[in-house]
Chain A
Amino acid sequence: MRIAITSSGTDLDAPFDPRFGRAAYFIIFDEETETWQFHANPAVEAPGGAGVQAAQFVANQGATVVISGDFGPNAYRALSAAGLAMYVAPRGEPPSVRQLLHQYRAGTLQSVAGPTSRGHHGLTAGTR
């Protein structure tokens, strides 16, 4: 099973990134081989639709679990259509990617049953 975690850096000890569509990196952890790879988020500078683009990217990487801090409505819709399980990190001081992985395996992370924010509609405030 492959787990995607939004990260602000490129290794397991980097603090995770609470944003999904605008996360700096995705760390894709492969549970079978205990290996991981990081990928720059292609959606980080998308003028709009970052949530959808990021969801597409994560799904294309073969992840079946996504851990982040926040899933907007578009990201949620795309990820759930692909059958990916979504989990959110606890609020507060951002844990490292490694800590989140442990929490996920210990079963203490909260799963998500709907969008966790209203989303940003991919638009900068005031441009519509």
Chain B
Amino acid sequence: MRIAVASGKGGTGKTTIATGLALALEDRPVLFLDCDVEAPNAHLILRPELIWRQQVDRPVPVVNQTRCTGCGHCAEICRYHAIAVMSGKVLVFPELCHGCGSCVANCPEAALSEYGRPLGVLEAGSTKTGITFARGVLEIGELSASPIIRQLKKWAVRTELFPHALSPEAVEIRDAPPGTSCPVVETLRGADFALLVSEPTPFGLHDLRLIVELVHEMNLPAGVIINRDMANDGALERFCVEANLPVLMRIPLERDIGQALAAGQPLTAVRPAYGMALRNLFEHIQLLEARGIRT
């Protein structure tokens, strides 16, 4: 079972829920993936010991000046305009390069080759309570997070890292990046269920709509957790009813919860009762997933 925890934007308590769920399911083999590779923070709560590490590169062309005639063919061929030939000199713009290899394959002088430019690292290990934890960390200045998330998903499910990868009891929890852009799509891809975290404010509703649209497009069963619940106009709930989205849990707005979470404590430690609630939530998700309910 692969559950992706997502929200239309940051700051809704997505990581709180994802880590809380991982801790609540302690009697199962749990793999936790922090897919927010631009600003990973779940390790601050789960505190794993990271013992596995792997560098991820991406191919970028490099020119051999002595072979290059400055013909300009590579610049013409690059769909992404990641290469320019100015006054006979080849300039590569690595941030724009998609690593498609067209320029290398089509240089008439075979003056171009590829080198691996660091894209980021993958790290994994386990927590004291036996959760297998893995995360990706995007290199500073790198712009595309999706490839590293794709690699993280593949890398972490190998049995050296996660011995129970093939067990039917295994649960994979993915903490998605904020927003609804490509990295979120990559996190949701291949998941069995999308757990959406929202709050009962106009902004919360706006962001929930966006992520629900995405989840619909991807044909993923989904449910909502209302975080920081308080007296409100009921718009969020009306939307959930209309969109046929089950509200699976509510966490009321309470000052001391907020403070303890901000200090890095897991939800299940701040309020042990949420451990049971999250286990129930998981069972509910299993039922929804088994019935193949699409919202």
Contact = CB atoms under 8 A, between A and B. Distances in A.
Contacts of A43: 81
Interface stretch (A2-10, A88-96, A102-110, A120-128): A120-128
A56 interface: yes
A128 B145 contact: yes
Given A126-B179, A128-B182, A78 B82 contact: no
A82 B81 contact: no
Nearest to B210: A126
Nearest to B180: A126
A127 to B, nearest CB: 6
Given A49-B96, A52-B93, A128 B86 contact: no
Interface residues of A, number: 24
Contacts, number: 70
B85 to A, nearest CB: 7
Contacts of A82: 86-87, 89
A77 interface: yes
Interface in B176-207: 179-183
Contact of A128 (B75, B93, B183): B183
A122 B79 CA distance: 12
A87 B87 CA distance: 20
A49 B143 CA distance: 13
Contacts of A74: 93, 95-96
B181 A56 contact: no
A78 B91 contact: yes
A48 B79 CA distance: 9
22 contacts: A46-B81, A49-B80, A49-B93, A50-B81, A52-B81, A52-B93, A53-B81, A56-B81, A56-B85, A56-B86, A59-B84, A59-B86, A59-B87, A74-B96, A78-B93, A81-B87, A82-B89, A83-B87, A121-B95, A121-B96, A127-B182, A128-B181
Interface of A: 43, 46-50, 52-53, 55-56, 59, 74, 77-79, 81-83, 121-123, 126-128
